[in-house]
């Protein structure tokens, strides 16, 4: 998630890439339904069974690692992917999946060199096995890494290529296309091409709603992107409607102190700031700042950016609102 752009901290999922045993299938079904806690229990129970073959164990580790990463629990996810890569006589597909998991974690933590090296290795692996679908996954990952680094010139051809390949592959799962559409939309938003970004996020939202329903965190992420873009375009009423739904969804699926909830608060703050309702924006940022400062999974630069947003909104809020600064937070008089 690009905190400098839309400040959505929760990452998109990277689902299992291969046939799985029952525990994996059950966990993926629960994950699609938004029940992360039960999905995690099933995977951990299966891993506790020491009789599982190494190939099956690799799938379980990758699936659990990706589930944790999606919840922004990267410190817990990283050793699971690393454990897979240390396995002997590992088939190329679980190795690919573990590489992608680590590449995503390194991208999220701004470890650019490691992330790009893993994307490059994964892409070469897929291409050497003539698997165009998985090569496209790596191409999209390379593009997102350049995008997160702020190099839109290098990101754009890769992200466009990923969308093109997926749109023209009748066998490609639709959620893969949704992810690629979202990445390209984010690039367009960075370039202030609002109409193009909104069109792609609209397509992504349609797919996510069909696959996961209206009340899933991944659906909410796209709604948050659209809400911010609408607010930037001056459509505050529609933007607020979506941003409030996003906060409701995140609070229903995650703990109140989670970065998923923080991202929804930040998104709501951005909309209020676009609408020049600076007191409300400062209040949202204050709540989010308390969460990100207490989270070990959020980098110092990201927390500093939320702090700057808060300070900016607070400085423009009318004094009559009764909001004052105390140690970087807001408090009502």
- At 44-56, the pLDDT tens digits run 999 987 656 677 8
Q: pLDDT tens, 59-109? A: 999 999 999 988 878 899 999 999 999 998 899 999 999 999 999 999 988
pLDDT computed for residue 208 by the predictor: 94
Q: Above 70 in pLDDT, residue 21?
A: no
Q: Above 50 in pLDDT, residue 285?
A: yes
Structural domains of the chain, count:
3
Q: Which residues, in sequence order, are bridge partners of residue 329?
A: 326
Domain end position, chosen among 85, 107, 129: 107
Q: Above 70 in pLDDT, residue 319?
A: no
Question: Are 9 and 100 in the same domain?
Answer: yes
33 pLDDT band, cuts 50/70/90, is: confident
Q: pLDDT tens, 287-314? A: 999 998 887 767 677 788 899 999 999 8
31 pLDDT band, cuts 50/70/90, is: confident
Report yes or no on 261 lying in a domain. Answer: yes
Report yes or no on 240 lying in a domain. Answer: no
Range of the domain at 124: 110-213
Domain end position, chosen among 53, 77, 107: 107
* Spatial contact of 285 and 310, defined as CB atoms under 8 Å apart: yes
Q: Above 60 in pLDDT, residue 250?
A: yes
Question: Are 288 and 316 in the same domain?
Answer: yes
Report yes or no on 308 lying in a domain. Answer: yes
Question: Are 30 and 125 in the same domain?
Answer: no
What is the average pLDDT across 143-172?
95
Least confident of 27-36, 147-156, 259-268: 27-36
pLDDT computed for residue 113 by the predictor: 95
* Spatial contact of 259 and 72, defined as CB atoms under 8 Å apart: yes
Question: Are 75 and 10 in the same domain?
Answer: yes
Q: pTM for this structure?
A: 0.79
């Amino acid at each position: 998630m690009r905190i400098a752009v839309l400040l959505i901290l929760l990452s998109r999922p990277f689902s299992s890439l291969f046939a799985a045993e029952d525990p994996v299938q059950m966990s993926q079904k629960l994950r699609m339904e938004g029940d992360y806690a039960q999905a995690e229990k099933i995977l951990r129970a299966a891993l506790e069974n020491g009789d599982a073959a190494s190939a099956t164990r690799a799938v379980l580790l990758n699936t659990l690692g990706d589930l944790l990463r999606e919840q922004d629990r990267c410190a817990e996810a990283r050793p699971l992917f690393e454990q897979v890569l240390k396995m002997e006589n590992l088939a190329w597909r679980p190795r690919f999946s573990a590489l992608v998991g680590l590449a995503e974690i390194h991208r999220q933590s701004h470890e650019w060199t490691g992330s790009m090296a893993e994307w490059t290795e994964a892409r070469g692996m897929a291409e050497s096995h003539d698997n165009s679908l998985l090569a496209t996954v790596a191409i999209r990952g390379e593009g997102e890494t350049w995008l997160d680094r702020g190099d839109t010139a290098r990101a754009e051809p890769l992200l466009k290529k990923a969308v093109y390949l997926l749109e023209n592959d009748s066998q490609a799962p639709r959620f893969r296309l949704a992810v690629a559409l979202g990445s390209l939309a984010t690039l367009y938003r960075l370039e202030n091409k609002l109409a193009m970004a909104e069109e792609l996020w609209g397509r992504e939202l349609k797919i996510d709603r069909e696959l996961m329903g209206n009340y899933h965190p991944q659906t909410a992420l796209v709604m948050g992107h659209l809400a911010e873009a609408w607010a930037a375009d001056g459509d505050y009423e529609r933007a607020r409607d979506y941003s409030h739904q996003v906060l409701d969804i995140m609070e229903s699926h995650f703990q109140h102190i989670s970065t998923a909830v923080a991202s929804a608060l930040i998104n709501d703050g951005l909309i209020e700031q676009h609408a020049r309702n600076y007191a409300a924006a400062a209040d949202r940022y204050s709540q989010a700042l308390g969460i990100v400062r207490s989270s070990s999974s959020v980098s110092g630069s990201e927390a500093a950016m939320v702090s700057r947003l808060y300070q900016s909104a607070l400085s423009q809020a009318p004094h009559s609102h009764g909001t004052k600064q105390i140690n970087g937070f807001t408090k009502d008089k």
